[in-house]
Each structure stands twice: as C-alpha cells, then as structure tokens.
Amino acid sequence: MRLDDGGALDFDYLLYAVGSTAARGMTGSEHAWSIADLDGAESLRTRLRQLPAQAPVVIVGGGLTGIESAAEIAYRYPSLDIALVSRSVAAGLPASSRARIHDKLANAGVALHTGLRVTAIRAGGVDTDGGRLPSDCTVWAGSLAVPDLALRSGLPVAADGRLRTDDALVCLHHRRIVGVGDAVAPPAHVGAHLRMSCQAALPMGAHGADTVLAMIRGQQPSSVSIGMTGQAISLGRRDGFIQAAHRDDTPAAFALSGRAAAVVKERVCRFTVTSMRFPRAYRWLPGATPSVPVPPPVAA
C-alpha cells in the first residue's frame, strides 16, 4: 500500500474503511460548506459566527443531514434567516412522519422550499429551477460520495465506486482485503438494505474484524448479517424524531418525537464512541439473512 508521503506499508490483511464524503459535482460547490468531515464542520461554525442577524443561510438537501443541519443551526443561531431547499424533505419516511418533520422545521424557524432542484451554487446565493435564493452561507447536504481509492487501486468496484466484496466482506478477487463501512458494497442479499450510516458501519467494522481473525486462523469467515433499527433525527438540542424500522430498513409503525426522542438521539451518538470501550460486549441485530460460513472462493 502506497502512502502520500512517498512511503509504503506492507500488509498481510488490509481493512478498507475509507468512508464517504460530500459529493462535490454541483456547479459552484466550492462556495458551499459541508459538515461531512470535522474540518468542514469547524469552518462552517466559524462562518456562522461571523454572520450578522437576519443573514440568509441556505441548506441544500432534505435528507437527514440537511434536516439536522437546518434544525441545529436554527436552534444555535436563532437570529439568522434559515432556508432548506430540496426536491423533497425526509423522502424515505412515511407520509405522517414526513408531515411532522415539516411542521417541526417550520416551528423551528426554517423556511422550507420543496419541489425545487438546485442548479448552481453562487458566492451570494443558490440558483434553483424556480429562481435564485440569496445566501450568505450555503450548506451542502445534497448527497454523499465515496473516495475513488479502490477504483484508482484497480480493485473491483460498484458503479458508485464502492469496493465490491463477498458475503463475508472479503474483497472480490483480493482475499487479503476486507471492506467495511460506507465505502463498501456487499452483495445485495446481505447488503442492499444497508444505507450509509454508523448504524451499518459499526457492525460491519466488527464483522470485518471477525472475518480477518477467521482468515488468520485458517477458518472460513461467516456471512455478514445486520438488521437495521430505524432513523434517529436530531431537531435542535431539545427536539428529535425517531422513526422505527424493520430489519430490512423499511419504516415500521412506531415513531417518537419531542424531548424523549432528542435524548434517544443523543444516546445513539454517544454510543458510537462508548461502544469502542467494550469491544467484546458489542452486539447488533441480525439481518433477515442468517450468518453462515461462506464457501471458499472458486479459482478464476
């Protein structure tokens, strides 16, 4: 493996876990801030603190990142003029949950511009197919993309650049590389329901470690099996929304909102760190596919 300082590292087994970043294909995306990494989030905070009262802030994208960004900025900087522009907001949730999130955002002071497609980001605004919105700070929450490291390294990748693996998360054609997290595309029967999330990345990481240990011991690694539980959405520090899901990530009937949901969401965030303190105790919900030994690869 080559490093950008000119060095190189040998490996017996390599865990490919390069995650995802904000997609930067939009015209003028250099004028937008992103919270997909810590540097971006810190730079956004600096910008928000510089803005005068009533300055327009536009969040592009109505997925979970856009919803949370809009609500948190509105909570932390109530004097700013916050707008969220997107073709849809909370599109993956049931209609009743969607309506409640729309109401909560509106009550938090976020102006919703739905049904619009952003065509370009400018220094002082956002162009949409319905006209221009002024913006002194545009937050890009449009979509995620994975690094092109696997593609550049000649490894097998899916159309979106994610590393292709077998059921046990072992890279196809390269048995000493194991892929975990957002940057990886396991076969559909074990991975189609795993959206980019820490909810999927944490158990994938743990399973990937078990896969490496099994291969070191000369054993057949097991098929990955991960059940999803739902979506936990922060809506400012004192409000939230929890949408329960079936293990295949389709929405279930149960939803929770308000202060209790905010507390659950905060605990979910903290768990991503505290779970690392007790790695042997870490467990997750199995998926619909039972975990079974993966047959040895057939020689090409």
> Binding residues for ligand FAD, per CB under 6 A?
17-20, 35-36, 65, 147, 149, 181-183, 196-199, 201, 232
| Token pair in block for residue 199 | 């909810």
Q: Toward ligand FAD, which CB reaches closer, 60 or 183?
A: 183
Q: How far apart (Å, rounded) are the C-alpha atoms in residues 163 and 153?
A: 11
Q: Is the dihedral of CA 180, 89, 45, 25 positive or negative?
A: positive
Q: Which tokens go with 97?
A: 């949950």
Beta bridge partners of 111: 83
What amino acid occupies position 173?
Answer: H
Phi, psi of 127 (to 5 degrees): -85, 130
Is beta strand 177-179 parallel, antiparallel or unpaired with respect to 14-16? parallel
Cβ proximity to ligand FAD: between 116 and 149 the closer is: 149
Beta carbon of residue 200, minimum distance to ligand FAD (angstroms, whole number): 7
Q: Which is nearer to ligand FAD, 201 or 262 (CB)?
A: 201
Say what angle helices 95-107 and 64-76 make with each other, to 10 degrees: 20
CB of 181 to ligand FAD, least distance (A): 2
Nearest Cα to Cα of residue 144 among 30, 63, 205: 63
User: Smallest gap, in angstroms, from Cβ of residue 38 to ligand FAD?
Assistant: 9
Question: Cβ closer to ligand FAD: 18 or 111?
Answer: 18
For residue 227, the minimal CB distance to ligand FAD (Å) is 14
CA 248 to chain centroid? 17
Q: Report CA 269 to chain centroid distance, whole Å.
A: 13
Smaller CB distance to ligand FAD: residue 58 or 64? 64
Min separation Cβ 202 and ligand FAD, Å: 8
Question: In whole angstroms, how close is the CB of 144 to ligand FAD at the nearest point?
Answer: 8
Minimal distance in Å, beta carbon 85 to ligand FAD?
A: 18
User: What secondary structure letter does DSSP report for 52?
Assistant: P
By C-beta, is 125 or 287 nearer to ligand FAD? 287
Question: What is the gyration radius of the CA atoms in the chain, in angstroms?
Answer: 21
Instruction: Give strand pairing partners of 60.
Output: 85, 140
Q: Nearer to ligand FAD by C-beta: 31 or 140?
A: 140
